[in-house]
Structure 1
């Protein structure tokens, strides 16, 4: 009887852990709207977003500057490199958002994804995104 419970437990753990992996197709062809940084709401008028396209190209609006590049997804960790951006001057509050976004993307972040919510947890910042739309 003990062997049955052990085998069932191992099967359950395997099934649960397998469901935690994020696959590229779950993230591609979507646009994500930034809603919070470290749990603090971001002004929706800022319209900071992240688009993930075919072959894991990424682009979006960090704060006041647009960014673009490519990313990799390994072991549920997203990292963008190389990443380029425009170089306009930002107001201080907008610059804080921009710094958080660009730092998190270039340093790499652990991903949590549930279909409509995307969280990128980096060393300094945790970015929370909401699904904005499906790209075509």
Structure 2
């Protein structure tokens, strides 16, 4: 569940959503369904971090030209930060829907064996690329990677 930092009262603008993990050689076609939840993955499998969120309130659909930045951060338990976290994915603000989805793919072999704490973030950026006080994070949990 996304935890929100919102610079507006929720009646004006609110974001809600979740981040799901999927594994395999390809992205499952039935997203956003998760069956079963993925918390353990082999080093030889791709990992897909799937963001699903929606917006509501009287200001929803009024940020044309803005974009959401979706990022993930891995912390190797017992050993500190992972040297290179994946690049963020940007999702353009859409004035025709209140529902959004983004996927960050972690190719097989990217993560070494170990247990990782995974955090996912979303930040709304204005048309100039500046972050706004509309942000959210999800502490996805611990991911075990084995070889």
Q: Give TM-score, length-normalised by structure 1.
A: 0.29
Higher relative contact order (CA 8 A, sep 6+): 2
Higher strand share: 2
Higher helix share: 1
Q: Determine which structure has more spread, i.e. the larger CA radius of gyration.
A: 1
Q: Give TM-score, length-normalised by structure 2.
A: 0.28
